[in-house]
Structure 1
Amino acid sequence: MRQVLTPSLRFEEFQDNWELKNLKDIFELKYGKDHKHLNQGIYPMLGSGGIMRYVDSYLYNQPSVLIGRKGTIDKPLFITTPFWTVDTLFYTVIKQGQEPYFVYSLAQTINWYKYNEATGVPSLNTSGIYSVPVYVPLIKEQKKIASFLTSVDRKISQLTEKYRLLKEYKKGVMQQIFSQQLRFKDEDGKAFPEWEQDRLDSFIERVNNPVDVEKAKEYREIGIRCHGKGLFHKDKKSGEELGNKRVFWVHPNALIINIVFAWERAVAVTSEHENGFIASHRFPMFIPKEGKSDLDYLLYFFLSPKGEYLLNLASPGGAGRNKTLGQAEFSKLKVTLPSLKEQQKVAQFFQSIDKKIDEVAQQVELTKQFKKGLLQQMFV
């Protein structure tokens, strides 16, 4: 079989075959150094996991591909500003006739775990890295590829920054809304009524429907991710596997809390998708009292800094499983809520922000997948 010496996706002005080399022909590896003597400064100090801190001196001040020596070995980094690396991260001196960003892109196509030298913590050594075979084009084509991929990376960076700013905006506006610094008006432009303070159980009520477990029947439980990341569905279990565990039918359209991790905002809202699912006694469910509260508003409230504070207040004890939400304390929490119509307006506002955040997150992921496809096709 003839060996392919050109990539499947290529700029049409280039026709020459790519040359087989080893990485020792492309760059020289340099070890990172101890940093304990360094003071705080402006230069990034990096380990295999990324930036650790900023220091007052640098090891190298030219564009360099950084390759994990120990720990994270499969995520090469690229840097163009002066930097310091610790001993878990190699830096490279790119040889003459090689385009640094092309070399970085090339490094992203390598299966680094194939060259792992350790049975425990993943590790690479210089001889293993130097022996890696690679195909490279002439410098002019390298520069063209580098320029194109740089533009793709720039787009990823811009979208990632947009995502970060939207998250920051949501966080900031949450603080303003739930502290009443920012208020909404009704459809006629008039102010909504003043917020009402009362015990939480005057706005919501608990619902529970115990399951009469049958040994031969199959059941599916739900779980709640921390930090407001929603529900997940567990695998099926037989009634016999559940044993004497106390379980309840999940009530659709209810506020549900994991009492063990409420202090880490393990709060969610159920939907019709959870019909027929079950939850243990550690997942109490609540529904709004008619005319008093809105389900989506309640979720956003408990995911806000103010709501997180109240969840912690009702969860005495140390961190971890000892910091359990007291359900009586939860019910007695003093909360200040706006009128139902203003709650609904607040919830709709946050839903619109979340929609934008999700759209940008999807754009980031699609652009990353696009780049991944390019790397597979633009390199031999």
Structure 2
Amino acid sequence: MATRKREAPPPAQARAGMKKDLPEQFRDYRHVWVFIELERGQVHPVSFELLGEGRRLADQLGVQLAAIVLGPPGEFTWHAVAEAFAFDADLVYLVEEPLLTDYRNEPFTKALTDLVAAYKPEILLLGATTLGRDLAGSVATTLLTGLTADCTGLDVDADGSLAATRPTFGGSLLCTIYTLNCRPQMATVRPRVMRMPQRSNKPIGRIIRHDWRMCEEEIVTKVVDFLSDGQSENVNLAYADVVVAGGLGLGAAENLRLIKDLARTIGGDYGCSRPLVQKGWMPADRQIGQTGKTIRPKLYIAAGISGAVQHRVGVEGADLIVAINTDPNAPIFDFAHLAVVADAVSFLPALTEAFIRRLAPANRLKLVN
């Protein structure tokens, strides 16, 4: 007699079997929160991307979208408040305190966890930046709740659970993670994974000031100075409209000038796949992919890049992907919009020359060999 293979239950049923009733202290948690990242005079654009995603989730749940602004008293903090409303926040929770002038883990963790304890959000979203990753881990640990890091997708299921999707097993699979029995449900999202929402002229709305105090003596970390390597500040791959990137198909480090020449000719920026960083041919801040930068340009030209899943995760949001590779079966051709089967080392100079001829004479740039 044949034995019938038992089928796995649908995800919702499987979760229902694991889910317990929320403890009493979590049952009145409501609304979607987005942490607005401020650092050294700037609001990180990922905050606005998350407000767009948070708006969608809040509308699905029928709750409010709140922005969290932690910063020093002054014009810059209020500019961040105004920008949060311009990107469709319903209200802003504001903590103004001189100790929050520069990011330090201890005061920011204390301020954010105090806000959560006082106002009880159901979902809390942060950017997966250097600052956001540090803060999110500390807050989740302090609150004893779950955190799904580096998400590529967020949604709300029929039962109201946050479905946070992220790559796993080196990027070969996508898994969806749920925080079933704790609140808030926390997730971080990398810059440029979500689309930038349209900015509106929405006026400043409801602001809830939270009176929070902490003594400098309670904080171990001290900010002495800011040092720059002179390079990282010039790399803005994540927000470039045109990106040219090279991979192992370029054959040698000296051939990287070919992608730099093309990028300069068409007014773009340049990057690379992970193997080139591992070989020391390019710095890590030029790496594109799951463990590097996520980009969403209007045009992406990939030269000599095979297109492994780890790389695909970082570029599939591009409007137009042009792939150049000698292997007609390269994985990158599965998701590229235009495929060029050719040797990138031979093809790139010809493509650069074609762009130079196409451009108006006044806009032509002299190549540096």
Larger radius of gyration: 1
Give TM-score, length-normalised by structure 1: 0.24
Which structure exhibits the higher relative contact order, with contacts defined as CA atoms closer than 8 Å and separated by 6 or more residues? 1
Give TM-score, length-normalised by structure 2: 0.25
